[in-house]
């Protein structure tokens, strides 16, 4: 995983697809950032890495079994723990990730707004 800053702590880790369900990787939520690193992909157009400061995320919501957010560079789709069994388990994981992510965004925004 990408190096963490001294005051950065891991809040949640798991697997996720980035932009498509086929571009697989490791998703890490810290108290400061959301990080996605490719680990396995059968997507020929994959290969992206993602590191977004939480205070930069403007909109974050669930669309089906995806988490969609905008950090100023257009919409990003994350398919958290997507497996063929996502109908059974995926929605729960998506809800959990979305809850932790929105809490982190709120905390990070308050931190940057404080004098």
pLDDT at 92: 64
- Flag whether 1 is in a domain: no
The CATH number of the domain where 22 resides is what? 2.30.29.30
- Flag whether 64 is in a domain: yes
Q: Provide the whole-model pTM.
A: 0.81
Number of folded domains in the chain? Answer: 1
pLDDT at 110: 85
Query: HEC string of the chain?
Result: CCCCCCCCCEEEEEEEEECCCCEEEEEEEECCEEEEEEEEECCCCCCCCEEEEHHHCCEEEEECCEEEEECCCCEEEEEECCCCCHHHHHHHHHHHHHHHHHHHHHHHHHHHHCC
How confident is the prediction along the chain (115 residues), in pLDDT tens digits per residue? 558 889 999 999 998 988 888 788 899 999 999 999 988 655 555 556 889 999 999 899 999 889 999 998 899 999 987 555 555 554 568 888 999 999 999 999 888 776 6
Query: Which domain range does residue 28 map to?
Result: 10-110
């Amino acid at each position: 995983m990408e190096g963490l800053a001294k005051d950065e702590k891991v809040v949640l880790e798991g697997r996720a697809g980035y932009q498509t369900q086929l571009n697989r990787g490791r998703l890490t939520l810290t108290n400061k950032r959301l990080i996605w690193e490719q680990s396995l992909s059968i997507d020929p157009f994959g290969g992206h890495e993602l590191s977004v400061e939480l205070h930069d995320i403007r909109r974050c919501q669930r669309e089906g079994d995806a988490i969609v957010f905008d950090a100023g560079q257009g919409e990003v789709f994350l398919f958290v723990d997507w497996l063929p069994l996502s109908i059974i388990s995926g929605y729960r994981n998506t809800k959990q990730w979305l809850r932790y992510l929105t809490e982190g965004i709120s905390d990070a925004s308050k931190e940057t707004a404080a004098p």
